[in-house]
Structure 1
């Protein structure tokens, strides 16, 4: 092992095991992320200083949305992985699609799942869809942070070989030291993006301009994920596309463009609405 490499902290992916029942860190990360995001959204909608006269959901609306959000994240994340990352395998082994305990979730699929349930729930409750998107956007980095920490514990989605002092030798990544790209993503997609959106929502009170925070999240995540893809090893069965791009890049770069369009449109729309009053 190179002198500067950090040994991987041997944390068992299974926290507690009772016979055939196993509680995994990965599952706890999803649970913690969803619960903390839910509480953050509830506290936010109850903070009257952030809203002025802007219509917004109640704490009860957010409480009722939790189950919808969970289904959107889990089902979307799984189907996204199947469609974007390993479709030939699952076409040949369709019964494996439901085997989520074997791993295989995709953020972009979870995002699409959330968009679908947000749209349906907002229409059913008569709520502003863009405001619901904004609330989900400012809370999403919480789940992303815990999810990436769980990826690190599981020794999966590790980075490319490197000689940086903080390189880690992963137990299933060969003897070479690698970038701990999961921790890069936890820091950028999770902690940093949360702080940026917190500043926009609480300091600049952009919840009063529906759509701006949703677009800002898309820009921030797209940039962070694309940056980390330069240090992360792509899925072995996909590799590099066109000799350079990864699937993560191709799915994230459009988010930046879409996010910019949404922010510009939302700012213009809210300005026009204000002038019309």
Structure 2
């Protein structure tokens, strides 16, 4: 694989992002190691919270959730998926597969030997996070999902998703900051939009972000379907706490909480909610999400 690395200067003085970078080399079963960036805030012996982002965002999405979680005593970890943020960026869309993303995150998790983890996943952070949690169940104590799901090619896909998938594939310009701003209910200022654009000095750096929509397994013949169906079956036996807090103003995933709550035994009796937020609910309501997670664990 040819790999690009965003210059560190692109991440200087981003608003509300004072966190120190950490790096770890990870490899999938069929790749050479690539460098993954992650945040690691709070006490090293605090109960870990893992925050997984989706497309086309990066750990910057969690900047308003991290401080209250740290103040509550948590160790908060937020990796940048390969192809995003400060992590390495393979240059071809074919370099990215669902399995590779799962294996990259799993390698990172195992290297840090994280246990008793509370997972928060959104968008592809849930597609990857739910796979990893189902396959590494002994490492996770709780799961909280916001505007996410685990696709198994058993359900139809909304028209809005098909439009998004075509847009990601064919549009000549893929402006991450503007895409975030159009999928929130609050105004996203120019400096914050620029921060979401920071990882991508040019279109050459965006192969991973553009690849994700096509990797969602919507066809039963997709190579990711068997493993996702196996993970879905394990979630059907998941009795540890499972919480859904979704942004109600999301035309693609705003109602995906219903099948999760119905399927996962640990979702019974939990304080699920739909809040005033769009797809990127961390941008709309980050502090509220953090406080809901803290109260839920109390």
Normalised TM-score (structure 1): 0.28
The structure that has the greater radius of gyration is: 1
Normalised TM-score (structure 2): 0.27
> Which structure shows the bigger proportion of residues in strand conformation?
2
